[in-house]
Structure 1
Amino acid sequence: MEMETAKINPFQLFSLMFMFELGSTIVVGVGLDVKQDAWLTILLGMASSLPLFFIYSYLFYQYPGHTLIGYIKIIVGKYIGIPLSLFYVGYFIYIAARVLRDFGDLLTTTTLSETPLIIVNGLMILLITYGVILGIEVIGRTGEMIFLIILLLGILGISSTVFSDIIKTENLTPFLENGLKPIITTVYTQTYTFPFGELISFTMLLPFLNKPNLGWRTGLLAILASGGVLSLTIALEISILGANTAAQSQFPLLQTISKVNIANFIQRLDIIVVATLILGVFIKISIFYYAGFLGIQDIFRLTRKKTRIYCILFLSCVILIASVKMADNFTEHIAVGLKWVPIYLHLPLQTGIPLLLFILTLIKKVIRRNKIDTPEVQS
């Protein structure tokens, strides 16, 4: 299959975006610094990301058939565009490695404590490598299946907490105890960039949509659906564990589901969380990985199939090694991810540069329109 001619349908795109947003976010938790108002930070982060996705969609529609890497070079020229494109490639690969580390740390901490991190991560990256080699159509079809499985697991998980009678809604109060300031701060340092801003990776995949006119609508539905699910999940964690316990937990969803006990018979449903993590992480890493690979393919004009496979294998090694070496432990890994990555990587690359490209595109449109209108005025 030639990757350049592959196509995915709107439902496959929706499934990929929905699973991508959940990814490791649903297991690790985000925004819990503001305690019982964490669910609100998810909704505000989601709302803030909608104008951002509009910018991504607008640029795609202005340069149909081009990925982010493609229209960067068109807008700012190749001398600035190529170095900037390489920076985006590095960003996609680095975030893929960070998500892989999330996955490995959870498994080695909870279920595979005697297994070295590099083995756990290595097995996952092998599976993802195979998917990337097969191309976006295979990833898209896999996303469809995983979406349905996650939907089933989600219904099972929520139902089990309800029937266990462990939900205490009073843990969600008092509402806005410390005002809006800490919530706004958390939104723009965490939930706006992670996970919603990470949809920048889909600027590399929109050209593969077989009905491009549905790209904006599909993305909007995926953002709203995933934001709703994440907010509900955070609210359940807080209502079951309590705000302080949820905030201090490394994996709040895992701790939440461990509380399930239906008639002293149905217990230990940790497999639901582990399965959700494995499936969600597979999609998220695959998207970041594939976006990075497409960038390299575009920049260096990799036309031969064998060359592309060698490139994919090389990137797999880079992602695996980076995932193991980027931090000495999970605490350090999370600290870097929450304090440094949003400010120095997410905000500039997810918002700053796309906004600049958006403004430059508008200016070019005005200039082009004026050039067309000027002769008519003179005549």
Structure 2
Amino acid sequence: MEKAKINASELVALMLLFEIGSAVVVGLGMQAKQDAWMAILIGMAAGFILFLIYDYLYRHHSSLSLIGYLQIILGKWVGRAVAFLYIVYFFYIAARVLRDFGALLLSSTLPLTPMLVVNMIMMLAAVYACSLGIEALGRASEIFLSIVLMLAVLAIFLLTASGVIHWEHLKPPLEHGWKPVLQTVFPQTMTFPFGEIVAFSMLLPYLNNPLHARRLGLVAILISGLILSFIIAVNISVLTAYNAENSTFPLLRTIGKIRLAGFIERLEAIAIVTLIIGGFFKITIFYYAAVKGAHELFQVGTRKELALWLGLPLLVSSEIIADGYTEHIDIGLKLVPLYLHLPFQAGIPLLLLIITWVRKGYYPTSR
């Protein structure tokens, strides 16, 4: 592992940008209609539980990364096989987020630009960030988080001043009962974005004070959950639940409603800048987790060399994972949460936790 450390504020900034990422722009949890904000909060609560599992495994195995303690808990060969699957998972999700990023820019501002060109620019930025290391990424996250927060405050102020926020669109709460909300939570909002924090099981060993990992992680999940819930509530209040659900990028459409003083309008750039920053950090952290995992597992080359070698496959993967954006979103909302997110975010970590508890019971002094 590279000899690098990040402090508490850098870890929180990385987690916030990662959690917000692409989730702030797409219609998260809109299957619950006007109760989408509630589905996000319940998903956040599930995210707390998942992170406590990741933190326990991290603490119990001498602050190793996921790749390290998989081989300890499951044995060398089974552990290495599962570790390889996690590397593929991290890589695949990085490619999916890269595709999300390209699709938004093409549909909003660059309709005549090939997606390959847009994705290649972001891929090169992610590769460069990975080559610089986690310390550089952590320092950059604090700067970019402040930019995102300032843009968010500005957007809320302008929307309020424009008089387009109508909170009555959130009524009636629980019109169809709890069933639509819970069906949206499990598995969607629980796994995206909160369960994706599993990628940080590869980054927690870099924290300069491991004892703070649990508190910092829970705080980051809480803040990101409240931010996402509030933004979705604003989207519904401005657009109505029906329009927000049927918008590809509801935040973009919400910001487009700003009309103030006869000349302050067409501020969609606020949403686009937010996506670029959040998308960059989400892609980079998933990609970094894949690169670091491959380096730990196979012990070939250096981390910087692997970051360069895997850049082109990442770009190609983002192009071929779906024939079009509709198929891409359909796979992302229906298949990925059930068949990828749940096993890798909840199923396998829960199994690791049970095995650890059983061994601790048989060998209480082994820790």
Structure 1 pair 218–370 and aligned structure 2 pair: CA distance change class (3 A): closer
Q: Are 1:365 and 2:360 matched, yes or no? A: yes
Q: Is the 8 A contact 2:129 2:137 kept in 1?
A: yes
Matches within 5 A, 1:184-199: 184-199=182-197
For 1:298, the equivalent position in structure 2 comes to 296
Match of residue 262, structure 2, among 246, 255, 264: 264
CA distance in 2 between counterparts of 1:368 and 1:65 reads 19
For 1:62, the equivalent position in structure 2 comes to 60
Q: Secondary structure at the match of 1:112?
A: coil
For 2:22, the equivalent position in structure 1 comes to 24
Give the CA deviation at 1:64: 2.4
CA distance in 2 between counterparts of 1:81 and 1:289 reads 21
Q: Secondary structure at the match of 1:259?
A: coil
CA distance in 1 between counterparts of 2:5 and 2:14 reads 13
CA distance in 2 between counterparts of 1:131 and 1:310 reads 13
For 2:276, the equivalent position in structure 1 comes to 278
For 1:377, the equivalent position in structure 2 comes to none
Give the CA deviation at 1:171: 0.5
Deviations 1:196-219 (A, max 9, x none): 000000000000000111100100
Q: Is the 8 A contact 2:360 2:366 kept in 1?
A: no
Q: Is the 8 A contact 1:189 1:338 kept in 2?
A: no
Structure 1 pair 46–264 and aligned structure 2 pair: CA distance change class (3 A): same
Match of residue 324, structure 2, among 326, 329, 332: 329
Give the CA deviation at 1:346: 0.3
Shifted more, 360-369 versus 243-252: the winner is: 360-369
Q: Secondary structure at the match of 1:207?
A: helix
CA distance in 2 between counterparts of 1:45 and 1:164 reads 31
Q: Is the 8 A contact 2:101 2:119 kept in 1?
A: yes
CA distance in 2 between counterparts of 1:70 and 1:354 reads 13
Q: Are 1:312 and 2:312 matched, yes or no? A: no
Q: What is the total number of aligned residue pairs between the two structures? A: 367
For 2:335, the equivalent position in structure 1 comes to 340
Match of residue 180, structure 1, among 178, 183, 194: 178
CA distance in 2 between counterparts of 1:369 and 1:344 reads 35
CA distance in 2 between counterparts of 1:41 and 1:259 reads 25
Q: Is the 8 A contact 2:130 2:304 kept in 1?
A: no
User: What is the identity, as a one-letter code, of the residue corresponding to 2:73?
Assistant: I
Q: Is the 8 A contact 1:15 1:147 kept in 2?
A: yes
Q: What is the RMSD computed on CA atoms of the aligned residues?
A: 1.2
The runs of 5 or more residues in structure 1 that have no matched partner are 373-379
Give TM-score scaled by structure 2 length: 0.98
Match of residue 238, structure 1, among 211, 236, 239: 236
Matches within 5 A, 1:95-134: 95-134=93-132
Give TM-score scaled by structure 1 length: 0.95
Instruction: Report percent identity of matched pairs.
Output: 50
The runs of 5 or more residues in structure 2 that have no matched partner are none
Q: Is the 8 A contact 2:63 2:210 kept in 1?
A: no
Q: Is the 8 A contact 1:108 1:115 kept in 2?
A: yes
CA distance in 2 between counterparts of 1:370 and 1:175 reads 51
Give the CA deviation at 1:370: 7.9
Structure 1 pair 14–371 and aligned structure 2 pair: CA distance change class (3 A): closer
Largest Rg, 1 or 2: 1
Q: Are 1:354 and 2:349 matched, yes or no? A: yes
For 2:250, the equivalent position in structure 1 comes to 252
CA distance in 1 between counterparts of 2:335 and 2:307 reads 28
Give the CA deviation at 1:34: 1.5
Structure 1 pair 104–371 and aligned structure 2 pair: CA distance change class (3 A): closer
Give the CA deviation at 1:349: 0.5
CA distance in 2 between counterparts of 1:141 and 1:38 reads 33
Give the CA deviation at 1:309: 3.1
Match of residue 142, structure 2, among 119, 129, 144: 144
CA distance in 2 between counterparts of 1:173 and 1:73 reads 50
CA distance in 2 between counterparts of 1:334 and 1:123 reads 22
Deviations 1:123-164 (A, max 9, x none): 010011100001100110111111111111111111111111
CA distance in 2 between counterparts of 1:369 and 1:321 reads 49
Give the CA deviation at 1:369: 2.1
Give the CA deviation at 1:255: 0.2
Give the CA deviation at 1:263: 1.5
Q: Secondary structure at the match of 2:15?
A: helix
CA distance in 2 between counterparts of 1:214 and 1:369 reads 24
For 1:155, the equivalent position in structure 2 comes to 153
